[in-house]
Structure 1
C-alpha cells in the first residue's frame, strides 16, 4: 500500500503568488484589510481559500509582541484532579483571550523537560508546572530566558518564584485524624514516590497525626509505594495488603484514583467497607460521591487552584512573586464512617 505525500502547508508567499500581489498586501488583508481595495482584497481571500492557507498565529504574536498562548504541565491529565485544575486555568485565561496548551509529564522529569523545551520553542508567554521532582533549577533557568513560570500544586522553594498549592501536610493530618477518631490504629498509606512533594507532605501529615495521638508511626503505619498513581496502582497495593496476616483496618490513599482501585479490590474480595476496612481518598474528584460506596476524601479547591495560577502568570514576570496556599477540607462519606465489624 502506498501513501500520498503530505501536502506542504501553504505560506504567505504562496498566497501572494496565487493572487499576484506582494507579500505585504497579503499581510494587510490579514491584519489591516481597510488598507486594501475591495477588488484586491477579494482576490487575496480567494487565494487563501484555494490554498487552505492558515496564518501562523505564533509567528504573528512574536512579531507583534502580543503572545497570547501559555502552557501547563501536569503529572497526569487523565487524573480528574488535574482535569479540573486545567479547567480552572482555561476559564481564567478565556477572560483575557489567552490560549492554553496542556501536557502530561507522567511523573517523568525528562518528559517534563521535553515539553518545557517545546513550549519555549513555540514562544509561550509562560508556563504553569506541577514539577515531577523537587528540583526547580531548570524552571528558574527558563524564567531567566524570559518565560514566565508559576509552580502549580506545589509551594515555591524560593520567595522570588510564584506558586499556588494546597497545604498537603494538613490534608494528611485530616485524613489520619479521621481514621483515628473512627477507632483505627493500624493504618496503611497507599502513597506515591517521596520525590513528588505532595506525596512526601501527605505522609508527614499522617505521621504527625499518629504521633499526636501517642502512636508510633513505625508500629501503626504501613506505607506502600504505588507502582502508578492511578486505579491500577491502588488495586495492586490493596491486593498486597490483603495478603498480610496483620492487614490494616484502614487505607488512606494518596489520591482518589488509587482509592477507586482499592475499593474495587476490596469489593471483589468480599471485604466489607467500612466495617472491615475503611478507605479515605484525596482530591474529592467528581466521582467520589457517586461510587457504590461513596468515598470519604480530602477536598482540594481544584478549579480555584487553576484560576489563581493563571492569574499569577498573567501578571507578568515583573510582578512581585506571590505564594498562595489553600487549606484542604475533609468530606466524610460512607467509605470510612459507620459501625465496624
Structure 2
C-alpha cells in the first residue's frame, strides 16, 4: 500500500519532526530555537539543533508560524493596473508599511474589468488571506467582495463602492476639483469643457461635482458645460482632443478640465500633433500630479493627491483591523493641493 500524499520522484520536504528526531530533542525545543523564544535552551543544545537544521536543509513554514503567533502572513491589493503612476504610488505606500512586518503583499491587477475584479476577490477569499486593500476600476461591487467585507478584512482606497460597509481612505476630490475650476475661471475662461472619468466611479463623480460647484458659483449653468466621459487613460484624452479640435473656433472651449493627469497628457499630445498650442490656443488641467505631469511640455497644472500616504494609511488601518498593529489614530481623508504650472493661460474674459 502506497502513501498517495508522496508523489513519486518528488523530494520530501523535511519537517520540524525530522529535525527533532535527528537532534534527539523534543519538537518544543526545536521550535524554541527557531523562534528565539524566552524558553531556555542550553547553548550546546541550540548549536546542535542548528547543525541538524542545516544538515536537513530544513526551512520553517513561515505562514504557519505567523498564524501560530497571531501575526499576519499576507494581504492582497486589488488594483486596476500600475501603468497609472498614481496607483503605483498607492502600492508603494502599502509596501512601505509591510516592509517592517512579517507580511507578503499579493498584487492583483484587474485592468478595470468587472469579471477580473470578481475573480480576484473570490480567489483572495478562498486563499484565506488576512485582509485585502481594494482599489476598484469599475465602481461595481461583486458577491465575493461583499463576503470579504462581511469578514471585516477589507479597506477601500481611492474608490468606494455602493452597498458595502468598509473603511475608506480617500482624498478630498470634490474640494480639489472645485479649487481647480475656480482657478481656471479666475484666469478669465468661460467657454469650458470637462473630460470626465469613467461613469460610476466615486472619484469621477466627486471631481465632476466639484467642477460644477465652481461653475454655479460663477453664474455658469453647470449643465451648459459639455462633459466627455473618458476612462482615465491617455487614449481617452487623445480621442477627446479630436472631438474638441474639430469644433468651430466659436464653439471650441478655451479651457478643458480633465479628470486625471493621463487624460490631460493624452489631450495635450494630440493637440500638439494637430498643431493646437497649449496654452496659447487652449488651456488644460489635470488631477493626481503624477511625475509625468511635471515633465510634460508645457508642465501640467493639476491637483495633487498624496497616493503614497493614502496607501500607507490603508495598510495601517487594515493591519489594525486584523490585529497585526495596535489601534491608533489613522487618517482616512487627505487634503488635495493645486499645482500651478504652465498649461493654463489667460482667457478671453480676463
TM above 0.5, one fold?
yes
Counterpart of 2:92 in structure 1 is 87
Change (3 A) 1:38 1:327: closer
Shift of 1:40: 6.3
What is the count of residue pairs matched by the alignment? 327
40, 44, 51: which one aligns with 1:42:
51
Shift of 1:332: 1.0
CA drift of 1:325 comes to: 1.8
Structure 1 residues 223, 12: closer, same or farther in 2, change over 3 A?
farther
* 3-state SS of paired residue (1:315): helix
Q: Is the 8 A contact 1:281 1:295 kept in 2?
A: yes
Q: CA distance change for structure 1 residues 257 and 56 in 2, over 3 Å: closer, same or farther? A: farther
Which residue pairs with 2:211 in the alignment?
206
Structural mapping, 1:109-258, within 5 Å = 109-131=114-136, 132-135=138-141, 138-145=144-151, 148-154=153-159, 161-219=166-224, 221-226=225-230, 228-245=231-248, 246-258=251-263
2:302 corresponding residue in structure 1: 297
Q: Secondary structure at the match of 1:12?
A: coil
In structure 2, the CA distance between the partners of 1:182 and 1:200, relative to structure 1 (3 Å rule), is same
**1:42 CA displacement:** 3.2
Note the 1:28-67 alignment, pairs <5 A: 28=31, 31=34, 38=47, 41-48=50-57, 55-67=60-72
Aligned-CA RMSD value = 3.5
* Preserved contact between residue 175 and residue 298 of structure 1 (Cα < 8 Å): yes
Task: Name the CA distance, whole Å, in 2 between partners of 1:59 and 1:120.
Answer: 18
**Deviation, structure 1 residue 59:** 3.9
With over 3 angstroms needed to count, the CA separation of the structure-2 counterparts of 1:27 and 1:258, relative to structure 1, is farther
**Which structure is larger by alpha-carbon Rg, 1 or 2?**
2
CA distance in 2, matches of 1:302, 1:37: 46
**What is the CA–CA distance in structure 1 between the aligned matches of 2:260 and 2:213, rounded to whole Å?**
19
Q: In the TM superposition, what are the counterparts of 1:245-284 in structure 2 within 5 Å?
A: 245=248, 246-284=251-289
Q: Is the partner of 2:71 in helix, strand or coil?
A: coil
How far is the alpha carbon of 1:266 from its aligned partner? 0.9
**What is the CA-CA distance between 1:153 and the residue it aligns to?**
1.1
Gaps of 5+ in 2: 1-8
In the alignment, the residues of structure 1 paired with residue 268 and residue 320 of structure 2 have an alpha-carbon distance, to the nearest angstrom, of: 43
| Shift of residue 89, structure 1, vs aligned partner | 1.6
Alignment gaps of 5+ in structure 1 = 1-6
> How far apart are the structure 2 equivalents of 1:148 and 1:9?
37
Change (3 A) 1:305 1:152: same
